[in-house]
Each structure stands twice: as structure tokens, then as C-alpha cells.
Amino acid sequence: MNPNSIRKEVQTTGFQTSAEIAQSRAYSTTSFAGTKRSRSENEISTAFTSARSLLQADTGNAGHRRIGSYHLTKPIQPNKRRLVASDIHTLPDAASPEDDIATYSQRKAVSSTPGPSQYPLLSLRHPKYGLPESLVANFEKLGVNCIYPWQASCLLGRGHLTAEKNLVYSAPTGGGKSLVADVLMLKRIIDDPHKKAILVLPYVAIVQEKLKWLRRLVEGVDKRIDALVQVDGSYPSRAKFLQSSIRVTGFFGGSKSRATWSDTDIAVCTIEKV
């Protein structure tokens, strides 16, 4: 062998990198792009092994019928009658879609609660409430022509209208809780002119709204005063005149009213002014 050829081959190989050697060699490869591996018949999915084995194991149950890998459950009582919807009957006084009655006015067209004609105690004019005619007329001007049965039960409870017992009640929002409180409060102020009431509300806006409501209710309503002149015991020569009208005053932040506690019968205020 010629030594020069050996030296030349070694020298040529020594200058090639491993990447160049790998690129110079030819490899036979097969592309598997777009092909799916076929699943073996003996291969079982591990995620559903327990559930499938339980379904296939219970083959002796007569109440099941196998379809493929699943079972259809038969009804326990096959002869039992299925539920059927009842017939729809149209009431003679019901409102039809052609009447175009809004939701808030349906109560006037189709009455779902009893009225004063059926239960006289649902009218504030009933003698059991003992309210003045002017106060009841103001309620009717504001749209309160009758009350609900549960409101009548609260008002006519033993000792409620006479302030002998307290009353604790609850109702959903907009259910009429304030009406019961207003009647009891006004009844107490009218019957006993020396008493005062404090109505505490959470927000200034609600206080302002309540002030307007109560002032419209007590407009023209007088307290039941037997003697307009009350002599002070300490100073018999002095006479104290009791005002017959009901004074409603608001006490809240930002109010410009200069009324004091002695100038009011009903104080409507927020919690920080109590």
C-alpha cells in the first residue's frame, strides 16, 4: 500500500465533522404522516374499564337487557300508568290575550285576593280600627283602598292597636310591611297626643321619600285632644297649648330644618341622628 495514500485518507477524514459525516450517509426512512395506529382487539381502554366491566358482569339480572357493551334498564312496574297532563279549563272571568291587560293591572281585572265586599275587615273604614275619617280618606287618595288579610291580622291582634303589646312580623320586599307600621304609629299619635314616634330609616333618600308620604297622610288629620289647655303643675299660672295637628319632621345629614324635638310628633331620621 502506498503510504502517501494512507496519509491523505487520514488527513481528509480528520477534517470532517460528525455532522458532515452524518449528512453524507444515506438513510432509508418511512413517513407515517396522516396514518393512524390500529387498535388491537385485546386492548381495553383504562378510563372505562371499571364501568364497562361492571355492566358486563351483571348478565344474570333479569331486569336488564344487553345491547353491545351496555344494558337497558326495564321499568320496575311496567304496568303502572304514566303521568298525563291534565286538561286546561278557561275561567269565565279570566283575562284573554286579546284584552291587552298589563301585569300590574291584572289584579283589577281578575281579583286573586278577597276584597272589602267579601271581608269588611279589609277596609280601614271598619270601626274596629278606630281611625279618623280624614286619615282613611288620605289613604284612599294615595291608592290604599283596602288591605291584605295578613295585614288585617297584624292590626287586629290583641293589644296591637291599643299599644298594649308589641308586634314582630316579616314579609317580602314590597309586601306591605310599611303600611302596618304607619297605621299603628299614626293610631298611637292620634289617640295619645303626648306621645311621640321615631322612625329610623337607613338612607337619606328613603327618609325624604317617607317624609312626603307621611305629610300627605296626616294632612287635615287632628289629634284627639280633650282639653286644649293643659296647666303645668309646677307653674299653675302658665298654660300649655297642645297643637292638634300632627307634625312630621325629618332629621338627616344635610337637612336645613331647624325644628327641634319639642316641635315634632313624628321624627323620621337616619341612624346617626337618633
Q: Categorise residue 240: left if φ over 0, alpha if ψ from -120 to 50, beta otherwise.
A: beta
Specify the residue for cell string 336645613. 256
Question: Please, what is the Cα angle at 196 between 193 and 202, to 5 degrees?
Answer: 150
pLDDT in the model for residue 274? 73
Which residues are 198's β-sheet partners? 267
- 80 or 88, which is more confident? 88
pLDDT in the model for residue 260? 86
**116: pLDDT confidence band, cut at 50, 70 and 90?**
confident
Integer Cα distance of 206 and 32 in angstroms: 76
pLDDT in the model for residue 39? 62
**Arithmetic mean of pLDDT, 13-18:** 64
What does the H/E/C string look like for 136-204? Answer: HHHHHHCCCCCCCHHHHHHHCCCCCCCCCCCCCCCCCCCCCHHHHHHHHHHHHHHHCCCCCEEEECCCH
Helix orientation angle between 133-141 and 204-217, rounded to the nearest 10 degrees: 130
Integer Cα distance of 57 and 54 in angstroms: 5
- 230 or 20, which is more confident? 20
Q: Is residue 218 within 8 Å of 243, Cβ to Cβ? A: no
Q: Is residue 143 within 8 Å of 213, Cβ to Cβ? A: no
pLDDT in the model for residue 101? 47
**65: pLDDT confidence band, cut at 50, 70 and 90?**
low
Residue 62 has pLDDT above 50, yes or no: no
- Mean pLDDT for all residues in the chain: 76
pLDDT in the model for residue 58? 56
Q: Is residue 147 within 8 Å of 176, Cβ to Cβ? A: yes
pLDDT in the model for residue 2? 54
Most confident of 38-52, 88-102, 177-191: 177-191
Please provide residue 50's backbone torsions phi and psi, each rounded to the nearest 5 degrees. -70, -45
Which residues are 251's β-sheet partners? 269
- Rounded to a whole number of angstroms, the CA Rg of the chain reads 45
pLDDT one-digit tens code per residue, 223-263: 887 654 454 455 444 445 567 889 999 998 888 888 888 88
